Amino acid sequence: MSEHDDNDKPLTLWEMLQSVLAAALGVQSGKNRSRDFSRGKPSHFIMLGVLFTALFVLVIIAVVKLVLHFAGV
Protein backbone atom coordinates (compact mmCIF):
# COMPACT_ATOMS: atom_id res chain seq x y z
CA MET A 1 0.00 0.00 0.00
CA SER A 2 1.45 3.38 -0.91
CA GLU A 3 1.36 6.60 1.06
CA HIS A 4 -1.14 8.02 -1.43
CA ASP A 5 -3.60 5.18 -0.79
CA ASP A 6 -3.44 5.86 2.96
CA ASN A 7 -4.35 9.52 2.42
CA ASP A 8 -7.50 8.65 0.47
CA LYS A 9 -9.05 6.38 3.11
CA PRO A 10 -11.52 7.95 5.54
CA LEU A 11 -10.60 7.89 9.21
CA THR A 12 -11.65 4.87 11.24
CA LEU A 13 -13.79 5.26 14.33
CA TRP A 14 -10.75 4.44 16.49
CA GLU A 15 -8.65 7.17 14.81
CA MET A 16 -11.44 9.69 15.33
CA LEU A 17 -11.85 8.71 19.00
CA GLN A 18 -8.11 9.09 19.55
CA SER A 19 -8.19 12.52 17.92
CA VAL A 20 -11.16 13.69 20.00
CA LEU A 21 -9.55 12.49 23.24
CA ALA A 22 -6.19 14.04 22.35
CA ALA A 23 -7.85 17.32 21.43
CA ALA A 24 -9.85 17.32 24.68
CA LEU A 25 -6.63 16.89 26.65
CA GLY A 26 -4.80 19.44 24.50
CA VAL A 27 -2.10 17.05 23.29
CA GLN A 28 -3.07 16.62 19.64
CA SER A 29 0.00 16.41 17.39
CA GLY A 30 0.33 18.54 14.27
CA LYS A 31 0.63 15.42 12.12
CA ASN A 32 -2.67 14.00 13.42
CA ARG A 33 -4.38 17.38 13.19
CA SER A 34 -3.48 17.73 9.52
CA ARG A 35 -4.58 14.11 8.94
CA ASP A 36 -7.93 14.90 10.58
CA PHE A 37 -8.49 17.97 8.42
CA SER A 38 -7.59 16.17 5.20
CA ARG A 39 -9.36 12.83 5.76
CA GLY A 40 -12.02 13.43 8.42
CA LYS A 41 -15.55 14.77 8.18
CA PRO A 42 -16.39 17.70 10.48
CA SER A 43 -19.81 16.27 11.33
CA HIS A 44 -18.22 13.09 12.71
CA PHE A 45 -15.86 15.06 14.93
CA ILE A 46 -18.69 17.30 16.15
CA MET A 47 -20.85 14.30 17.07
CA LEU A 48 -17.98 12.56 18.86
CA GLY A 49 -17.03 15.79 20.64
CA VAL A 50 -20.58 16.35 21.90
CA LEU A 51 -20.84 12.70 22.95
CA PHE A 52 -17.48 12.85 24.76
CA THR A 53 -18.47 16.08 26.54
CA ALA A 54 -21.83 14.66 27.67
CA LEU A 55 -20.16 11.48 28.90
CA PHE A 56 -17.49 13.51 30.73
CA VAL A 57 -20.14 15.64 32.48
CA LEU A 58 -22.12 12.54 33.50
CA VAL A 59 -18.98 10.93 34.95
CA ILE A 60 -18.17 14.09 36.92
CA ILE A 61 -21.73 14.24 38.28
CA ALA A 62 -21.56 10.56 39.28
CA VAL A 63 -18.22 11.05 41.05
CA VAL A 64 -19.51 14.09 42.95
CA LYS A 65 -22.66 12.22 44.01
CA LEU A 66 -20.57 9.25 45.13
CA VAL A 67 -18.24 11.46 47.18
CA LEU A 68 -21.17 13.31 48.76
CA HIS A 69 -22.83 9.99 49.58
CA PHE A 70 -19.74 8.69 51.36
CA ALA A 71 -19.29 12.03 53.12
CA GLY A 72 -22.81 11.69 54.53
CA VAL A 73 -24.16 14.84 52.92
Query: What confidence tens digit (pLDDT) does each residue in 43-55 have?
Result: 999 999 999 999 9
CA 37 to chain centre: 14
Mean pLDDT of the chain: 90
Q: What is the pLDDT of residues 1-11, one digit of tens each?
A: 455 556 778 99
Measured in whole angstroms, the distance separating CA 62 from the mean position of its chain's CA atoms is 20
Q: Burial, 36: exposed, middle or buried (Cβ in 10 Å; 0-12, 13-18, 19+)?
A: buried
Q: What is the pTM of this model?
A: 0.77
The whole-number average pLDDT for the span 54-65 is 97
Domain ranges of the chain: 3-71
Based on its alpha-carbon atoms, the radius of gyration of the chain, rounded to whole angstroms, reads 17
Q: For the residues 8-22, what does the mean pLDDT come to?
A: 92
